[in-house]
Chain A
Amino acid sequence: MAKSVCVVTEFREGKFRRVSFEAASEGRRVADALGAHLCAIVIGAGVTEKASELGDYGVETVYVTDDPALEHYLTETYVTVSAAMIKQCDPSVVILPASVNGKDLAARLAARLGVGLAQDCVEIRCENGHIRAKWPIFAGKCFAWSEWTEGTIPFISCRPNVMSCLMPDSTRGAQVEVIGVPIPEARSQVKRVDLDTSGKIELTEANIIISGGRGMKDAANYALLEELAALLGAAVGASRAAVDSGWRPHSDQVGQTGKVVNPNLYIAVGISGAIQHLAGMGSSKFIVAVNKDGDAPIFGKADYGIVDDLFQFIPALTEEVRQYKASCS
């Protein structure tokens, strides 16, 4: 049988999460390098109708299990269903999204199928049919390359926001096959799902992040950053010092104990740049540091530095962004 690459996707709240298209695009590149067929698996409730969207990103065959019992991600059910579907693809490489649910699924699948998994990868190389994958260790202070031993199937989860998406092309088209995988009885169950409807942008998926640290002095002062963030379509993050002070929720924490982020633009405001924070944001494409202490280590990482009082500078920047945006529209 011809070789195939299998992409595991994530479908939530009626649509594919973007990381699914990133994984599919990366899957396409790997499949081309291997001369392989690209298939994808889709699990969820009400997914059949949308399954063909994956064709736009180069997937040739989409296997679907569509059942109301699969509306919410639950490791126990998803791992059994996806293991059966992956077998259907008979892949030589499996690519998964390294989202919260994707990483959980990938880890349990690896144990179930007895395969080697590299999580949170930022690069996949394919040389002479041999796969290698790179992932950050110590929150980006270093990178590791993994290789798989002869006869084992590489399982690779891809960090969101890193793998570039192919330009969607609706002429490609994918063959959708609905397969009825039996859904196992689960001991665990989802009791509640509370979705944030405020339109807040998730840090790990944001293009622009504005983070505040100890220099913000108080929880209320984050309103300054929120205002600027709203204008830029940015997410607001925080240093560990700010979270430990109770100014921001832990879900906003950027750093080695917290989220590792890689936006196009990271604006660090009143953050001195402890090494554990630098690890969490050091792979951002462009970094701006605003700090009144010109010797702060954050300036060593910054592409642009502003040595000034943030309480003077941020309102001025917000005003300038407002004018800039007005001039663009």
Chain B
Amino acid sequence: MNIVVMLKQTPDTESIIRIASNGKSIVTDDLKWIINPYDEFALEAALRLREQHGGKVSLVSYGPQRVVEAIRTGLAMGADDAVLIDDHLLADGDLLGALKALATVVRELNPDIICCGARAVDYDQAQRGAMMAEFLGWPHLALAVKLHSDGTKVAIERPIEGGMVTIEAPLPVLVTFGGSHSIWNPRYASLPGIMKAKKKPLVIKSLSDLGLDPADYGRSSAKILITALEPPPQRAPGRIIDGDLDVRGKAKELIRALHEEAKVI
């Protein structure tokens, strides 16, 4: 079973996000970078599929040189090889462009299953998986919190508002992963894994290396662009309900405040 995992590098979820002076990107200088947690769940599921069915797990990603660190971590977790598209035109363009380029790489790998996070914890657009599947003409199963494959088809459980749906598709299929650390429990990179990862194949390509015409990518061909970032609205300072009250008194005062001031109960 050949499996491709789409991996994105994102700032750590504990990061403080600051807007850069251009007003439309974030300050990246002092950020700690991680594998997007949902992609880490996808990689864990892919490694388990390989353990069951044999085959190979390949990582694909796009982004600048710093992404190599995330890829090496993925290889240390157990992936076999990786391809990174490092081309500034993808950073300047939109998701449609990036996924079209990535689809070129994925086609060459000829996978049976593609796994990726249902969303990324940075720009959170939840579009990658569906777009990749569309460009390949494959079905996709979104937001897996449980996955089973007998080697010919894949079934997932997918939470929807107020319920759970089980959906199934024959290979080849793309699966996006939701859930949490507690569900997927992604493995840590072991020390031997980290040593081995240094020797695993990692190919870095530009758009022209892939035989793609740079004129079709970048800002000029984007349909949608981020034109400004803004900080979240400032919250008015709150108050501690105290005033020498006992718990009953505090509870009473809180209810009064929620009813009369906030008008939410």
Contacts and interface: CB of A to CB of B under 8 A. Distances in A.
A257 B37 contact: yes
Contacts of A246: 182
A120 B124 CA distance: 9
B105 to A, nearest CB: 17
Contact of B96 (A110, A189, A205, A319): A110
A134 B76 CA distance: 38
Contacts of B257: 304
Interface string A285-297: 1111000001000
Nearest to B224: A116
A47 interface: no
B14 A276 contact: yes
Contacts of B162: 195-196, 200, 202
B224 A275 contact: no
B133 A108 contact: yes
B181 A136 contact: no
B130 A258 contact: no
Nearest to B132: A111
Interface residues of A, number: 101
Interface string B213-252: 0000000001111111111100110111110000110111
B166 A137 contact: no
A244 to B, nearest CB: 5
Majority secondary structure of chain B interface residues (helix, strand, loop or mixed): mixed
A1 interface: no
Given A143-B229, A303-B262, A317 B11 contact: no
Given A193-B165, A324-B259, A100 B160 contact: yes
A33 B125 CA distance: 26
Contacts of B129: 107
Interface residues of B, number: 83
Contacts of A120: 124-126
A305 B264 contact: no
B159 A111 contact: no
A256 B36 CA distance: 11
Nearest to B140: A75
A274 interface: yes
Interface string A241-259: 0011010001101011110
A204 interface: yes
Contacts of A257: 13, 37-38, 121, 180-181
Interface string B80-107: 0000000000000010100100000000
A308 B252 CA distance: 14
Interface string A182-194: 0000111111111
B122 interface: yes
Interface secondary structure of A, over-half rule: mixed
Contact of A17 (B161, B231, B236, B240): B161
Contact of A258 (B16, B180, B247): B180
B120 to A, nearest CB: 10
Contact of A111 (B131, B145, B228, B231): B131
Contact of A308 (B167, B170, B173, B247): B247
A219 interface: no
B226 A144 contact: yes
B264 A190 contact: no
Nearest to B16: A275
A191 B227 CA distance: 43
Interface in B38-66: 38
Contact of B130 (A17, A111, A136, A138): A111
A114 B134 CA distance: 10
24 contacts: A73-B165, A99-B160, A99-B161, A100-B161, A107-B125, A107-B126, A108-B133, A110-B131, A138-B17, A138-B121, A138-B122, A138-B124, A142-B232, A145-B227, A149-B225, A191-B168, A202-B162, A207-B264, A240-B181, A257-B121, A265-B265, A303-B238, A304-B238, A306-B250
Give me the 10 closest cross-chain CB pairs, A-B, nearest first. Answer: A116-B224, A116-B223, A111-B134, A107-B130, A188-B169, A250-B180, A195-B163, A192-B166, A108-B130, A111-B131
Given A114-B223, A188-B173, A196-B163, 15 more contacts: A17-B161, A72-B165, A75-B130, A103-B126, A110-B127, A136-B232, A138-B11, A141-B232, A149-B225, A257-B180, A275-B16, A276-B13, A283-B232, A305-B238, A305-B241
